[in-house]
Amino acid sequence: MFKALLLTKTEEGSVQSSVTELDESQLPEGDVLVQVAHSTLNYKDGLAITGKAPVVRRYPMVPGIDFAGTVLESSDARYKKGDAVILNGWGVGESHWGGLAQKARVKADWLVPLPAGMTPSQAMSIGTAGYTAMLCVMALQDNGMTPDRGPVLVTGGNGGVGSIAIALLSRLGFEVHASTGRLNEAEHLKALGAKELVDRSTLNAAGKPLQKERWAAAVDSVGSHTLANVCASIQYGGVVAACGLAQGMDFPATVAPFILRGVTLAGVDSVNAPYAKRVKAWDRLVRELPQEVLASNTETIGLAAAAQTAARLLEGRVRGRVVVDVNA
């Protein structure tokens, strides 16, 4: 038996969550059985647990789109008992039972090795949000972005992706500007590496198709009007890495920034990214993200607090990353 946060759906359509005891035989099929040490709460987890969006594809469901732990059993030659592993994405926590449990059974293809020198807790202080932030940084660099090109905007600066993106970019020598609706967190964002703060209210409403060229590049986890205004404000030949939809899935923009300023909009997917790219991202994270950044940017909770914290997350009352110690 093991503990898990289980989501069920009532006949009326409401989602209910509870920490319950499950039997190992109830786990879905997979090549590898993992003893989960830590998981996290990401924006998508918040939507799943609260039922605010149809993230979950079938019920009952154990949410949690990522986890870190140790292999208990494996029928795949790539992993053996005792190996430390990480999982991000692949529909886990949506269509396949996820990481907010003490055990998980998954496909070997979905796992990557935990980098040497990184603990499961540290890995989940980074989590899918931080891993996505690194993919965004890689997308900017792959498209020729260097610090001498000019400042980089990070939207959703207080969120999981935004906070890690700020830390990564600043340590690579970029001048980072952070957009946030919580300007009272200025001290924290500047400690992460932000040089200037931008009030998100200046970006989250309809704007002109082309605006003053302010930033050489951007990392956006917000979408909707914010992404449209960011693209309209990028310098000639700049790049925007888009990875989220916290404001909305719509993109009310024109082609003007792309055909008149040569702006590149680079989509960043963390769910189905190929193995080599995942390993590269995690190897860079262990080398480029100082542990003191993780410590100052992380809140740790137990399974019992996950549902309440998920609600706070969607209300914008969570700063940085939330690690879930599933054994606490």
57 token code pair: 């594809």
179 token code pair: 């957009």
Tell whether the torsion through CA atoms of 299, 46, 112 and 131 is positive or negative: negative
Collapsed DSSP state (helix, strand, coil) of residue 202: helix
Determine the pLDDT at residue 184.
Answer: 84
Determine the pLDDT at residue 306.
Answer: 95
**Where does the pLDDT of residue 291 fall: very low under 50, low under 70, confident under 90, or very high at 90 and above?**
confident
Determine the pLDDT at residue 234.
Answer: 98
- Does the structure show a pLDDT above 90 at 293? no
Determine the pLDDT at residue 319.
Answer: 83
d(CA 273, CA 320): 23
Can you tell me which residue has the tokens 């292999």?
A: 71
63 phi-psi bin (left φ>0, alpha ψ -120 to 50, beta other): beta
pLDDT tens, 122-146?
Answer: 999 999 999 999 999 999 999 999 9
Mean pLDDT for the stretch of residues 265-294: 93
Q: Are 221 and 243 in contact (CB under 8 A)?
A: yes
Proportion of the chain above pLDDT 90, given as a percent: 88
Determine the pLDDT at residue 225.
Answer: 98
**Where does the pLDDT of residue 261 fall: very low under 50, low under 70, confident under 90, or very high at 90 and above?**
very high
Determine the pLDDT at residue 94.
Answer: 95
d(CA 48, CA 6): 11
Can you tell me which residue has the tokens 């830590």?
A: 38
Instruction: Give the chain's mean pLDDT.
Output: 95
Which runs of E-coded beta strand occur in the chain?
2-9, 15-22, 32-40, 66-74, 84-88, 103-106, 111-113, 152-154, 176-180, 194-199, 215-220, 234-242, 264-267, 298-302, 321-325
**Where does the pLDDT of residue 160 fall: very low under 50, low under 70, confident under 90, or very high at 90 and above?**
confident
d(CA 257, CA 261): 5
- Does the structure show a pLDDT above 90 at 290? no
∠234-236-239 over CA atoms, to 5°? 55
Output the furthest CA–CA distance in the chain (Å, rounded).
Answer: 60
Ordered structural domains, the chain, with CATH: 2-114+297-325 (3.90.180.10), 127-267 (3.40.50.720)
pLDDT tens, 71-85?
Answer: 999 999 999 999 999
pTM for the full model? 0.91
Identify the CA nearest to 40 among candidates 83, 72, 88, 109: 88
pLDDT tens, 211-239?
Answer: 999 999 999 999 999 999 999 999 999 99
